[in-house]
Structure 1
């Protein structure tokens, strides 16, 4: 079940997306970058190197985070 942080992030993403749409901005994806809410071009999603270590950070079978070692990792795994 989602916790308070999950709900807050989802709510903030939704508000940012609606704000972009009502201001006529399209072709953008809401994101967290360096701990800050932002929006980036959709082309960013399909280009470049993916920097998420899925095997290290996620249990893909159960759709859950899986963090074995936290030392040196950010508080939020984005």
Structure 2
């Protein structure tokens, strides 16, 4: 099931980031882990390039930082949870 192109997987990833459980490995193509497990790479890139989350602090390539939702990410998550 998709809502505006986002799936339950996207919603779960955004919720985990909102809950403070996401860790981003910075790079040209970011990697996201939740609770120490790697997330779907394609979904990660879609959410990141869509501007829905970012690193909480500046980090060098290959370094990790907590992931946080952007304002747009909060809005998208709200719309996905409301359905």
Structure with greater Cα Rg? 1
Question: Normalised by the size of structure 1, how large is the TM-score?
Answer: 0.30
Give the number of the structure with larger relative contact order, counting CA–CA contacts within 8 Å between residues 6 or more apart: 2
Question: Normalised by the size of structure 2, how large is the TM-score?
Answer: 0.28
